[in-house]
A and B are shown apart, each in its own frame.
Chain A
Amino acid sequence: MSEPRILPQAEGGDSWSPAPDPPPSGRRPTPAQAADDTRLAIEIRELVGRGAMDQARERFSALVALHQRRASRIAFQYLRDGSEADEAVQDAFVKVFSHITSYREAWPFEVWFTRILINGCLDRRKARARRERWFVPADEGGLGESQRSLGGSSPPDPEQRLLARERRARLASAVDQLDGRQRTVFMLCHYADCTAREVSAMTGLNESTIRVHLFRAARKLRAILEGKA
């Protein structure tokens, strides 16, 4: 089944600077932070409108720092490939900056940004499916970036690490078995912490439909993971 493209698209320094008040462990910003990032986006929009590009870029750097971890997690869940997720996140931010003048504060910045990000991910998935259909993958059988252990927070014990990797692979494959809409709704609600109302704004589906998709997704996941499907 082809994946639904989320939209209609919204109307439209080189130094690393940490987020002014970063969300804990990359989770969704608190309401106060969300209001801050919306204010920041409005400020950038005005700076771009006035032609003060250097200042706009400086402010944009803070906005990137605030959202990039969450964005990377979402993109990775969609694409299951670190490099591609990285590119998708970069593209989304560049698109946001180039279209910032069309941002309207009717919705929080986060909703607008997530919509752009997820559309980019869906386009990439579609393009990948096409490539896989017509071309032989170059490194079939090789370990993908997502499967390689990069240290970090993985358990030190090799056995535990192996078990964790297997469990993650099983979960990823279960999520991948959901149909397009179910997967999108599940990811937005579960990984991106969006409410049904926000997902409704992003997808154009009504809230009750979103709830139904979410229930079905959870039921199906449970069945797959418990070996009933």
Chain B
Amino acid sequence: MRTRHLHDDRLLECYAAERTGEPFDPPTAEHLAACDECGGRYTTLTQLLDTIRTDAEAEADELFTIDRLRQQQHQILRRIEHMGRQARVISFPGRIGRTIGGGSLRVAPRWLAAAAAVGLFVGVAVGGMFSDGSGRRRLSLTSANPQLGSPHPSLAAAGRAGVPAAIRELPDDDAFLSDLELALERPSTGELVPFDALTPHTRGISNQLR
């Protein structure tokens, strides 16, 4: 039998082994059975950890009732319902022509098609002009200050994928905030951090107002 008392780490190991059904180290098991002090410490430890566990489970189970789990499963099944199905092709403008119908309006589909084509052409041309302009502007900005690099790496990637410029300008919040944090961590902007610390933040102001 061991003469020295068991270390806390060893007791925790026993607890983990007991939970997962693994066998105890035989000398440790013998010592635990024979030493009252270590046995008491082990009981205290298991009580604490069991309390943490049962409290956590009870708290989660109060929120996730049977009904809620059922809803969750419905939601999951709804979300995967269309996976692996072929996309439907909606005919245009033939259907509209038919609904507008009437002998006198037979030409309407042709007019609609022509108008749509002209609109598309004008949209692409105008969009192209704008994206060229902003692209040139961005290019001149980065070449003037090469240290800045691409201000939005995720946007640059989006640009490569051929997304229209107007959409490229609207990153989601997470990407934007992530870029912002990356920019703050860069050594070239380290000198701006004290200014950031001096600048009042919205959170601080709102707390003061309360």
Separation of A218 and B181 alpha carbons in the complex (Å):
32
A94 touches B9 (CB 8 A): no
B73 touches A82 (CB 8 A): no
Residues of A within 8 A of B52 (CB): 171, 175, 190, 221
Q: Which of A33-41, A60-68, A110-118 has 4 or more CB atoms under 8 Å from chain B?
A: A60-68
Residues of A within 8 A of B81 (CB): 57
Is A145 among interface residues, defined by CB-CB distance under 8 A?
Answer: yes
Separation of A55 and B13 alpha carbons in the complex (Å):
44
A69 touches B80 (CB 8 A): no
A222 touches B48 (CB 8 A): yes
Separation of A195 and B65 alpha carbons in the complex (Å):
28
Given known pairs A94-B79, A214-B16, A222-B48, the reply for A82 and B63 (CB within 8 Å) is yes
| Interface residue from A13, A53, A98, A211 paired with B13 (Cβ < 8 Å) | A211
B74 touches A154 (CB 8 A): no
| Interface residue from A26, A68, A130, A152 paired with B72 (Cβ < 8 Å) | A68
Separation of A171 and B57 alpha carbons in the complex (Å):
12
Chain B, residue nearest A218 (CB)? B12
Residues of A within 8 A of B61 (CB): 26, 69, 73, 152-153
| Interface residue from A48, A76, A152, A190 paired with B84 (Cβ < 8 Å) | A48
Given known pairs A76-B59, A211-B13, the reply for A61 and B72 (CB within 8 Å) is no
Chain A, residue nearest B65 (CB)? A152
A90 touches B75 (CB 8 A): yes
Interface centre among B22, B45, B74, B76 (most CB of A within 10 A): B76
B80 touches A134 (CB 8 A): no
A76 touches B60 (CB 8 A): yes
Residues of B within 8 A of A61 (CB): 73, 77
Is A189 among interface residues, defined by CB-CB distance under 8 A?
Answer: yes
A86 touches B72 (CB 8 A): yes
Separation of A64 and B62 alpha carbons in the complex (Å):
20
What is the interface residue range for chain A against chain B? 35 or more
B203 touches A136 (CB 8 A): yes
Chain B, residue nearest A53 (CB)? B84
CB within 8 Å of A: which B103-124 residues = none
Is A121 among interface residues, defined by CB-CB distance under 8 A?
Answer: no
A190 touches B177 (CB 8 A): no
Residues of B within 8 A of A72 (CB): 60, 63-64, 69, 72
Residues of A at the B interface (CB closer than 8 Å) are 13-14, 16, 25-26, 48, 51, 53, 56-57, 60-61, 64-65, 68-69, 72-73, 76-77, 82, 85-86, 89-90, 93-94, 97-98, 127, 130-131, 133-136, 145-146, 149-154, 164, 167-168, 171-172, 175, 189-191, 193, 195-196, 211, 214-215, 218-219, 221-222, 225
21 contacts between A and B (CB under 8 A): A16-B73, A16-B74, A26-B61, A48-B84, A53-B84, A68-B72, A73-B60, A86-B72, A98-B80, A127-B174, A131-B173, A145-B63, A150-B62, A168-B55, A168-B56, A168-B58, A168-B59, A171-B56, A195-B22, A214-B16, A218-B8
The 6 closest A-B pairs by CB, nearest first: A152-B62, A73-B60, A82-B63, A53-B84, A130-B177, A76-B60
Beyond A16-B70, A72-B63, A73-B57, 5 additional pairs, beta carbon < 8 A: A98-B80, A195-B20, A211-B13, A218-B49, A219-B8
